[in-house]
Structure 1
Amino acid sequence: MIFDIIGLIGVGLILAAYFLLQTEKLASDQLGYPVLNLVGALLILVSLTHTFNLASFVIEVCWIAISVYGIVKILKRRKA
């Protein structure tokens, strides 16, 4: 049950990030967007430790990698 709640919070964060992007409350080049996606994907990954699903695992690992790439890109741009 707790793993389902953790996973659902992760889904909520990813959906919130996408909604905020579509409503122009958040831009894709703002740090908040990839951070919300990263945290959401990590929470879903935690939920998969309880009930594993290979397809979900693969997409969450990819989502994490893309989010980390976005965070690094934004932070490098801020330093320049």
Structure 2
Amino acid sequence: MTLDLANIVGLVGSALMMIAYAYSNMAHTINFTLFNLLNLVGSLLLIGSLTVHFNIASMALEIVWAAIALFGLAKAAWKGKAS
């Protein structure tokens, strides 16, 4: 593996998703906007990385992950307006 820009972008994306996961397990109260935003940005960075170093299974996972994060952000925004 070479440490090119695509791999660095992918590593940053992975780190954001791990931070979101750790946050969800350690926080007393979860800020769903922050949680889903970290997941969305992380998955988009990984998708960007995968356009250079393509892997079909990882790409499918990241597309679904991004979609779930977008749904979570929309739900959090809707709840914020309903309050």
Matched, 1:60 2:62: yes
The two structures have a TM-score, normalised by structure 2, of: 0.91
Q: Aligned pair count?
A: 79
Aligned pairs for 1:3-22 (under 5 A) are: 3-22=6-25
Instruction: Give the drift of 1:26.
Output: 5.8
Instruction: Give the drift of 1:30.
Output: 2.3
The alignment yields a C-alpha RMSD, in angstroms, of 1.2
The two structures have a TM-score, normalised by structure 1, of: 0.94
Q: Which protein is richer in helix relative to its size?
A: 2
Listed one character per residue, the Cα deviations across residues 30-74 of structure 1 (whole Å, up to 9, x for unaligned) are 210000000000000000011100000000000000000000000
In our comparison, the structure showing a higher alpha carbon Rg is 2
CA distance in 2, matches of 1:2, 1:26: 35
Gaps spanning 5+ residues in structure 2: where? none
